[in-house]
Amino acid sequence: MSLLLTSLDALAERVGLSPGSEWLALAVTHSSYASEHDCQSNERLEFLGDAVVDLAVADLIVTSYPELDEGSGSLVRARVVNEAALARAARRLDLGSFIRVGRGEVKSKGLERPSLLADAFEAVVAALYLERGYEFAKLFVQSALGDVVAEAALSPDEIDPKTRLRQWSEATGLGVPTYVVTSAGPAHATTFAATVSVGPKLRATGRGRSKKSAESQAAQAAWEGRDA
C-alpha cells in the first residue's frame, strides 16, 4: 500500500470511508499537484460534491425547520453553503493535513486558503456519495453543517448578504463590491460561480443554481472573511 493511502486511513475512518479508498485519495488531490504529477485532480469530485452539499442542506432546512418559507430557507442556505462555512467544516476535519498540493501552493501557503479547503470538503462529500451512497453523504453533510443551519435559522430574515456587505464596504471606505459571474453546464442543469471583490484585498467566491444564489453566497463568504 502506498504511503499516501496509509496516511489517509485515519481520515477515511473519520469520515466513514473504507481504508485505502481510491475516491478519497482523489478527493484530496488538488489540481496544482495533479498538473505536476500528470494525474487526475479533485475538480470533478468538487463539482459533484457541490450539488450534494446543496441538496443535503436544503433537505435539512425543509425537514427540520418547517416554519421557514422558500425565501427564508434560501437565505439560511446561503449563509451555510458558502466558502467560509465549508472551509470551517474542512478545518474541523483537519483536511489540510491530507490535501496534496503542488510546490507553488506549498510556498504560497495555499492549504490555508478557504477556497481550497472548501473545495476539498465538497470533494470528500462526493467521495462519500460515490462509495457509500446519497443517504450516507447527506447525513455526513448535515452533521458537519447542522449547527450552522441552526444558528442561521434563528434569524432567517436578517438583512441579505449582498446588502449587508455593500453597506459595510461603503461605510469603511472600500467602495461598492464588484461581482464577476460565470456559468457552466447544460441549460437544464446550469451552475453559476460568482467572485466578489471588495477593495484591494478582500475576495471571495460562491456557487449556486442561479446567478443570484452564487452572488449571495460569495457575499456571505466575503462578510465572514472580512476580518481574516
Report the C-alpha gap between 208 and 212 in whole angstroms: 8
- Cell (9 digits) for 144: 458537519
Diameter over CA atoms, the chain = 56
- How many whole angstroms from its chain centre is CA 124? 11
Q: Reply yes or no on whether 147 is catalytic.
A: no
> Residues 50, 83, 105, 119: which is the catalytic one?
50
Residue 41 phi, psi dihedral angles, 5° rounding? -100, 180
> Residues 46, 83, 119, 122: which is the catalytic one?
122
- The count of residues in the chain is 228
Q: Reply yes or no on whether 50 is catalytic.
A: yes
Report the C-alpha gap between 38 and 59 in whole angstroms: 38
CA-based nearest residue to 225, from 177, 153, 184, 155:
177
Q: What amino acid positions are annotated as catalytic residues?
A: 50, 122
